[in-house]
Structure 1
């Protein structure tokens, strides 16, 4: 199946926009098809279709916390196959960053959540039985000359795995994706040309990308999002369909950053090298990427991470804002951090366990992955939750451990899915 999919991939081309983004112009060969870089937009950025100007900083960060807990519960349900009993606010459109792209011929602009925990790509399509509102016009397959439905038994149908099934009457491949909060997306499996804006200028065009064209998309809490771009494990994800085996990202925290966009890199642009790089083994399990967390040190105090699962034991995920740790380990880590800070802590400020209102000096905190030590700076450990309080960006949980996006801020984080490594390099991120 993988060989068949690879044979469908063509060399990317660069295309030029005409007077509007809806005009398709003649393609020119891409000068360097080895890789490219594009922007990632935080969901709470004014550039995001999910941005709500009525929300205060406190509300934005509380929502991010709730999404992190909900997302970790959903991960546990997927991994175990058993619905979790834990109760948490259900927040829709789980994910922290979005990617802009253009679909079809002529081009139609859209923006969707990019998800390292998802194995498929889907977007809302016309005609729509049930669609949530979105900022950009619904993609209409009939308006594109490069859209093709996937047939039963085709490589495209196989790429979406157990989420795809055959409509034998119409000889078409369909899909159904269900989420833990009752939301779902269903429609046709298809191939289409996807184009991405490069930070070097112009658009990069990739034909025959397999995706779900959603005609029935239900969400209890409608928003302005268009869909999901999965970049987790699987042939239906974005990375193998672009023909690359590496991606990396450099994340900013939208709260308090001087920049308005993070960056995402593919192929040759995604290589992480040079001074300060450390690498750790990557394990692919289900649709998730796992690392092996061995310990965390606060100053000279090293706390071993003991977890029932041997080997790879923590999901690394850019879509989960906070880092989720088992209750007992979290308690020991929180205590060690508080004991190392020479300021009076504020306990239980709202839903936040450990906060400070005065400036403080961060202790040295080192995360020990297998073969790689990653040092946390203050913006990896604490986030400002309102004007007066800075709080610990970690949460205790009874679910699978998750290494979230705050812990990855201002690191170039690179995934090599051929060599099965994740690399970290301290970097001033943002554009």
Structure 2
């Protein structure tokens, strides 16, 4: 049995070892002034980020011609590693409806994110009691006209490439840390949305095996139904996407490594906003997620690094455990076993802890509140009281920066178009037990357009838990060690 990691007391993911930080106006770049370096502030390169917003995803893709190649995983010391791709890269490569204007893409992301959060909060605040256990109803051939809303979530922002079947058919899959099922679109396809790869055909796979309605595997699936003795599933998402079809056992390939008898949904009727992906790879904490089904093979651990421009990574297995990480306890909520909760005791700005009551972030005995780590949510949501105190502390330390009107869900925005670089206060998460996660500047000041408007990338939520979104997680190696009950934040950006 591997011993539990020991949390360290301090983690600084971005610490500039510079004698000075230069802050200068774009109109007078040669007349900048020097400010003594202070560890509670950091250097934020405005013009570099503005330049990135002016580069369309299609041009970025052309610089990475391996996008459509089969991405082999590395298998070393008990781990499997895959590449992660951001949604915009898939959308650009498939010539799907993608806004080439950054501001339009930004607004679409905020709309998707609002739907995601609405569905996630609805799910987490609903009464999840299922009585004595799963019950299966017999359905007709078309599996009903209504979709059971058992998984109201958005459709994800990050994709990974895996093989499905024997021989393997390469497919792009959405990853979702809050979902407990693996599913792909399948032939015969009664209704399918457009995907980048050919739709998986079970008839071409020697390892495909349907699951009976009386199977223990079917009993583990929420919203399971029966048709002619076979186990059927149906799932809906808050953006209007859905999938329904048969449950099967199939071989999943991670590069050259084959994992047999993985329970997957084979979707014959699907509607989606999945932008080229064949389906979804659930990474949640339940037994039916991909991580849950790997079980001992992966040691109950997986690690990911989210990168919006370039290749991130997704690793399975205890070999993925980074040395020198800061470890915080993983909290389980029986009312929402799919989700990964962490203990958050407070927030900091400029090295000063904001005096937010600690119970603002607490998980109650009834399963309400708490703090969820979610790959599918973009922007971190905080309870209204906590958000207002946090935002006001940030505004108080950025009085020298020109403010502008709010944009979309953000009420705190700045016009940084006249700057090359600016000096901004650090933003930190204070976790229960001691560890402090200090974010890189680009994880809390994000561009709302390509003209220099930047917004403080947090938003209030009137109900439900706090949610640490993928913008705040980006570039940080994050490890979920479900077996030992810890979440790790890596010592290096990636």
Q: TM-score range by the shorter chain?
A: 0.7 to 0.9
Q: Is the aligned partner of 1:283 residue 2:341?
A: no
Q: Give the equivalent residue in structure 2 for 1:240.
A: 292
* CA contact 2:116–2:154 (8 Å) conserved in 1: no
Query: TM-score, length-normalised on structure 1?
Result: 0.81
Deviation readout 1:287-322 (Å, 9 max, x if unpaired): 211112211011324232443743870110011111
Q: Is the aligned partner of 1:267 residue 2:317?
A: yes
Q: Give the equivalent residue in structure 1 for 2:41.
A: none
Distance 2:471 2:188 in 1: 38
Question: Which of these residues, 371, 374, 389, is aligned with residue 317 of structure 1?
Answer: 374
Q: Is the aligned partner of 1:216 residue 2:265?
A: no
Q: Give the equivalent residue in structure 2 for 1:427.
A: 492
Query: Rg bigger for which structure?
Result: 2
- 1:41 to partner: Cα distance: 0.6
Gap runs ≥5 in structure 1: 1-19, 23-29, 83-90, 198-202, 255-259
* CA contact 2:326–2:490 (8 Å) conserved in 1: yes
* CA contact 2:87–2:275 (8 Å) conserved in 1: no
- 1:363 to partner: Cα distance: 0.8
CA RMSD of aligned residues (A): 2.7
- 1:225 to partner: Cα distance: 2.7
Map 1:68-147 → 2, pairs under 5 A: 68-81=113-126, 94-147=155-208
Q: Is the aligned partner of 1:67 residue 2:112?
A: yes
- Per mean C-alpha deviation after superposition, the further-off stretch among 228-237 and 381-390 is 381-390
- 1:142 to partner: Cα distance: 0.8
CA distance 1:99–1:354, change in 2 (3 Å) = same
CA distance 1:92–1:138, change in 2 (3 Å) = farther
Q: Give the equivalent residue in structure 1 for 2:141.
A: none
Question: Which of these residues, 144, 158, 162, is aligned with residue 222 of structure 2?
Answer: 162
CA distance 1:80–1:350, change in 2 (3 Å) = closer
Q: Is the aligned partner of 1:249 residue 2:304?
A: yes
Distance 1:110 1:241 in 2: 19
Secondary structure in 2 aligned to 1:249? strand
Q: Give the equivalent residue in structure 1 for 2:84.
A: 40
- 1:326 to partner: Cα distance: 1.6
- 1:353 to partner: Cα distance: 1.7
- 1:52 to partner: Cα distance: 4.7
Q: Give the equivalent residue in structure 2 for 1:406.
A: 471
* CA contact 1:50–1:224 (8 Å) conserved in 2: no
- 1:182 to partner: Cα distance: 4.1
* CA contact 1:21–1:107 (8 Å) conserved in 2: no
Q: Give the equivalent residue in structure 1 for 2:62.
A: none
CA distance 1:355–1:287, change in 2 (3 Å) = same
Q: Give the equivalent residue in structure 2 for 1:333.
A: 390
Distance 2:428 2:241 in 1: 38
Q: Give the equivalent residue in structure 1 for 2:14.
A: none
* CA contact 1:188–1:214 (8 Å) conserved in 2: yes
- 1:218 to partner: Cα distance: 2.8
Distance 2:196 2:118 in 1: 29
- Per mean C-alpha deviation after superposition, the further-off stretch among 181-190 and 126-135 is 181-190
* CA contact 1:36–1:268 (8 Å) conserved in 2: no
CA distance 1:405–1:369, change in 2 (3 Å) = same
Q: Give the equivalent residue in structure 2 for 1:378.
A: 441
CA distance 1:182–1:51, change in 2 (3 Å) = closer
Deviation readout 1:22-47 (Å, 9 max, x if unpaired): 9xxxxxxx975721111111111257
CA distance 1:393–1:279, change in 2 (3 Å) = same
* CA contact 1:290–1:316 (8 Å) conserved in 2: yes
Question: Which of these residues, 152, 156, 168, is aligned with residue 213 of structure 2?
Answer: 152
Distance 2:492 2:223 in 1: 38
- 1:180 to partner: Cα distance: 2.9
Gap runs ≥5 in structure 2: 1-67, 128-151
Distance 1:56 1:403 in 2: 27
Secondary structure in 1 aligned to 2:395? helix
Distance 1:65 1:181 in 2: 13
* CA contact 1:280–1:422 (8 Å) conserved in 2: yes
* CA contact 1:248–1:270 (8 Å) conserved in 2: yes
Q: Give the equivalent residue in structure 2 for 1:394.
A: 458
Query: TM-score, length-normalised on structure 2?
Result: 0.72
Distance 2:386 2:286 in 1: 32
Distance 2:251 2:449 in 1: 43
- 1:53 to partner: Cα distance: 4.7
* CA contact 1:281–1:370 (8 Å) conserved in 2: no
Distance 1:50 1:184 in 2: 22
